[in-house]
Amino acid sequence: MAALATVATGAAAQTKTLYIGMNGGTMEKTYTQYVFPAFEKLHGVKVVVPGTSSDILAKAQANKDSPQMHVMFLDDGIMVRAMGMGLCEKQKPNPHLADLYPAARFKDDLATGVSVGMTGIAYNAKMFADKGWAAPTSWMDFADPKYKGKVVFQSMPSSFGLHGFLMFNRIQGGNDKNVEPGFNNWAKTIGPNVLEYIPSSAKISEMVQTGEAAIFPLTPTAVEALKTKGIPVEYAQPKEGSVVLLTAQCVIARNSEPELAQKLAEFLLSPLAQANVLQFGAQIPTNPKAPAVGEGAEQVAKINQWMKNAVTLDWDSVNASRPAWNARWNKTIER
């Protein structure tokens, strides 16, 4: 684990190491190339992502009494679970906390959002143009008969599917504790329009290109990523609001370098770090003071506008009921 630094004249001091649990791909590349090096230089430490894991939470839980990581990144709903398990320690007061979007500060500052997204509506821009359809404006557009056989919806276990269902449920009169209206009304509204329920969003690009998918839940960031690949999609903010989707960080409780881990968590909220994540990773800062230029500035301006009616889920209630919801979804909707 982290080596203890030795102070010696004329001898190379051992470098302390911080281990970060985070998802791979673009996020890991962005942080390791454009964010961590500045922190390493500032504090004389090494920051390592020790191989990526699809189940960072399980690793943290398994090593709760002797943590192998110092800071971990998780999606917001999973982070709330981690906090409930006692895996996160309170982040110390720092000058950046007050600047964050309110939704990016978790209860008791046990975690903070490092990038913000939201699940709204994405649509096949080519199909809409060819058919002369106006852009969607509401979650209830998924129930419009003209989209019959053209709606693609992610399954309940995925974030996008959960978010879309819970917004539909709210419109039907439910809330994050009561999903009866959503389940009771799905089959006579959105259900008949659905071509396919997909486990993740990986198939979206293919289904847009083949003309199968007209409309589907997705984030602005994911839409931009598809557009850079030439996929004709656009994002629409529903009038009822999108659902906040944060990538969050927490300092792992009882870690071997608590002071350095706290400093890293603070650094990752700074305008400098967040500006680099935006520029090189196209991830939207949770700190609005992060400088943005060009396309990044345009995207941040849009997010700032969309955040005004974005919805934050009651994750304590959702996490408590989600396994039962998933089972019911599979039995009654996606059967």
Residue 215 burial by Cβ neighbours in a 10 Å radius (0-12, 13-18, 19+):
buried
Q: Which of 232-241, 243-252, 298-307 has the lowest mean pLDDT?
A: 298-307
In whole angstroms, what is the distance from residue 18 CA to residue 261 CA?
A: 7
Compute the half-sphere exposure of residue 200: CA atoms within 13 Å on the CB side of its CA.
Answer: 2
Pull the structure tokens for residue 82: 């981690």
What single-letter DSSP state applies at residue 265? H
C-alpha dist (Å) from residue 221 to 104, 158, 174, 239: 17, 17, 28, 19
Q: Tens of pLDDT along 195-235?
A: 999 998 889 999 999 999 999 999 998 898 899 899 999 99
If DSSP codes are grouped into helix, strand and coil, which group holds residue 228? helix
pTM over 0.75: yes
What whole-number percentage of the chain has pLDDT above 70? 95
User: What is the DSSP-derived secondary structure letter of residue 117?
Assistant: E
Q: Which pLDDT score is estimated for 26? A: 80
Three-state DSSP state, 124 = strand
pLDDT interval class at 53 (50, 70, 90) = low
pLDDT digits (tens, 9 = 90+) for 280-301: 988 899 999 999 888 889 888 9
- The SS3 of residue 41 is helix
